[in-house]
Amino acid sequence: MSDLSPPKGTGPLARLEAHLAWGLLAPTISAVALVVILPLLAIFWISVKPVSLSDLRAPEVVIREDIRGDDEAVGDAASIRYRLRNSSQDQPIRGVTITDTIPEGLTVSEIDPRCTLNGRDLFCDLGDWDGGFRESLMIPVTVEQAYLDNALRPQDSTAQTTGRASSMLTNGTFTFDNFKRVFDGDEFWSVLWVTLFYTVFGTIGALLFGLFAALLLNKSFKGQGILRGLYLFPYVSPVIAVAFAWILLFDPFSGSANALLIQMGVTQEAINFFGQRPLALIMVTLFEIWRYFPLSFLFILARMQSIDTDMYEAADMDGASPFQQFWYLSVPQLLGILSVLFLLRFIWTFNKFDDIFLLTGGNAGTRTLTVNVYEQAFAVSNIGAGAAVAVVIFGCLLAFSFFFFRFISQEEGL
């Protein structure tokens, strides 16, 4: 009789299943690797390189060709002019050469020592160029009948150029200046403080508003569906549309909010809501709360509707007042979803870019870390510094998510 024991290790069926699973996941993994992992690595690489916006294109030889002097009759002396320059102001190009074809009917009368003429093919070796180098190369020629007969002019044949230049993105220059720039001075701390204020108050505010709205709609009445749909509007509509609507509403010159406040006697003169120092930050935080309370509202409402009503009936029988019921029954039940929402929203608010960028552009003391990435990379044209800020953000994110996974594993749902 053979030995009957449970199979050990992975059987062929399990292996098949694992293969299939990886096969199904492969497209996703490769796409995500290409667009998420690779850029993340690139960010780390760029953050230690002195790259500015203009370095994105490697320096190259710019060439313009034309003919100078008379070329209208046989025997006229003219010259072909090549205007050459290095496209970069500070990066050198090594081993520059140009190759061109002299048109039919032009005889080269004198040749530059750096050039050689082979039949009609011109070849010049111009050596190494420093950044910002420019030169005009003249080739004197005599016009013959053949030139006048055909329509080919010197500029019609494109001159080929070669030259080696190192791109700032790929060469071996490294620097810690970017990080020094980012951490130097008070700016970083003020940016960090703004980010924290925005994140903490934006998250808590959205949660509280969401909780309030969920309490309102946690009963069935006519029009409940309409109100629920209505309260989701801010979240569903494009951020750019609602951000501009807010800007218009709170405009200091022609904004309705100011007109209303003046009419009601709250203020004497128009308030520049998005242009004053503490107020702008409060306004963008309010915008964040306004835009994202629907999300917390939806989650909290879903959780509320799954709470057993028997409990409330029992509490009612025992004489618990409405506030007591809320505090001792609802809140403990909602604590799970509230904390999960808090953590996720915290991370997402921390990552938020569009809202502040559209509302204030990071001015008037509203520059958060994410806006700073854009500011450094595009406004100041220092890609390296922008990448350094991005690395800082990524570091914070890793810390948050570590905390998140520690915490979430004990929590429900998500």
Partner 1 sequence: MKYLRFGYVTAPLLGFLWTFVIALTVAITMSFATGSAFRPSGLGALIWGAGLGFACLPGPMWKPIVAAIIVAAAGLFGFGPIVIGQGVSGLSSVLGAGATAGFAALGLWIILDDVDFGAINRHVSEAALIKFFTGFGYIFFTAIVLIPFYVMVLTSLKNQAELIQNPLDFSIDLSKGWDLFRSYDELFRQFDFGIYLFNSFIISVLTVFITLLFAVPGAYAVARLRFRGRAAFSRSILLIYMVPMIVLALPIYIAFSMLGLRNSLGGIIMIYPVTTIPVALYMLQGYFRGLPAEIEEAGLMDGLSRLKVIWKITLPLSLPAMASVSLYVFMIAWNEFLLAFMLLDDPSKFTLTRGIASLNSSEIPRQHLMAGSVIATVPIMALFLGLERFMTKGLTAGSVKG
Q: How far is CA 379 from the centre of its chain?
A: 13
Based on its alpha-carbon atoms, the radius of gyration of the chain, rounded to whole angstroms, reads: 34
Minimum CB distance to partner 1, residue 377 (Å)? 6
Piece of 129-137, 140-148, 178-186, 249-257 that binds partner 1 (CB under 8 A): 249-257
Q: Which is nearer to partner 1, 137 or 300 (CB)?
A: 300
Contact pick of 225, 277, 327, 331 for partner 1 (by CB under 8 A): 225
**Spatial CA neighbour of 193 closest among 88, 122, 270, 277:** 277
CB 216 to partner 1: min, Å: 5
Q: Which one, 34 or 138, has the nearer CB to partner 1?
A: 34
Assess contact for 42 and 132: CB atoms under 8 A: no
Instruction: Walk across the sheet containing 61-69 and list its strands.
Output: 61-69, 77-86, 134-143, 106-108
Q: Applying CB under 8 A, which of residues 139, 338, 344, 359 lies at the interface with partner 1?
A: 344
Q: Is 338 in the site for partner 1 (CB under 8 A)?
A: no
Q: Which 30-59 residues touch partner 1, going by CB under 8 A?
A: 31-32, 34-36, 38-40, 42-43, 46, 56-57
Closest approach, Cβ 17 to partner 1, in A, equals: 5
- Complete DSSP assignment for 20-45: HHHHHHHHHHHHHIIIIIHHHHHHHH
Which residue stretch of 72-80, 91-99, 131-139, 371-379 sits at the interface with partner 1 (rule: CB under 8 A)? 371-379
* Interaction mask 283-302, partner 1, x per CB under 8 A: -------x-x--x--xx--x
* Rounded distance between C-alpha atoms, residue 150 and residue 156, angstroms: 12
Run of H or E including 361: none
User: Between residues 127 and 225, which has the closer beta carbon with respect to partner 1?
Assistant: 225
Our CB check for partner 1 shows the closer of 172 and 265 to be 265
The candidate with the shortest Cα–Cα distance to 207, out of 147, 289, 148, 150, is 289
Query: C-beta of 102: minimal distance to partner 1 in Å?
Result: 33
Q: Which of 117, 146, 192, 239 binds partner 1 (CB under 8 A)?
A: 239
Q: Does 385 bind partner 1 (CB under 8 A)?
A: no
Q: How far is the CB of 278 from partner 1 (least distance, A)?
A: 21
Residue 349 within binding range of partner 1, rule CB under 8 A = yes
Q: Which stretch binds partner 1 (CB under 8 A): 131-139, 176-184, 276-284, 338-346?
A: 338-346
For residue 144, the cross-strand partners are none
Report 119-178 residues binding partner 1 (CB under 8 A).
Answer: 169
Residues numbered 313-332 forming contacts with partner 1, rule: CB under 8 A = 321-323
Q: Which is nearer to partner 1, 312 or 348 (CB)?
A: 348
Pairing type for strands 134-143 and 93-101 reads: unpaired
Whether the CB-CB separation of 300 and 206 falls below 8 Å is answered with no
Binding-site member from 260, 311, 335, 399 for partner 1 (CB under 8 A)? 260
In angstroms, give the least distance from the CB of 23 to partner 1.
Answer: 8
Q: Exactly one of 20, 331, 335, 399 binds partner 1 (CB under 8 A); which one? A: 20
* Residue 256 Cβ vs partner 1, minimum distance, rounded to whole Å: 5
Query: From CA 52, how far away is CA 382, in angstroms rounded?
Result: 4
Residue 69 CB, nearest distance to partner 1 (Å)? 39
Q: Exposure pattern of 76-106 as b/e (b: 16+ CB <10 Å)?
A: eebbbbbebebbbeebbbeebbbebbbbebb
Q: Which is nearer to partner 1, 2 or 306 (CB)?
A: 306
Structure letter (DSSP) for residue 159: P
Instruction: Decide: 211 and 300 in contact? Cβ < 8 Å.
Output: yes
Residues 195-214 that bind partner 1 (CB under 8 A): 212-213
Q: Is 11 in the site for partner 1 (CB under 8 A)?
A: no
CA-based nearest residue to 165, from 96, 104, 107 = 96
- Binding span for partner 1 by CB under 8 A among 68-76, 96-104, 106-114, 230-238: 230-238
Mode of pairing for the β-strands spanning 77-86 and 115-118: unpaired
Indicate the Cα dihedral angle 396, 399, 405, 410, nearest 10°.
-110
CB 345 within 8 A of CB 203: yes
Pairing of strands 93-101, 160-164: antiparallel
Q: What are the Cα distances from residue 328, in Å, to 124, 339, 359?
A: 88, 17, 41
Q: How many residues bind partner 1 (CB under 8 A)?
A: 97
359 touches partner 1 by CB under 8 A: no
Assigned token pair, 157: 């044949």
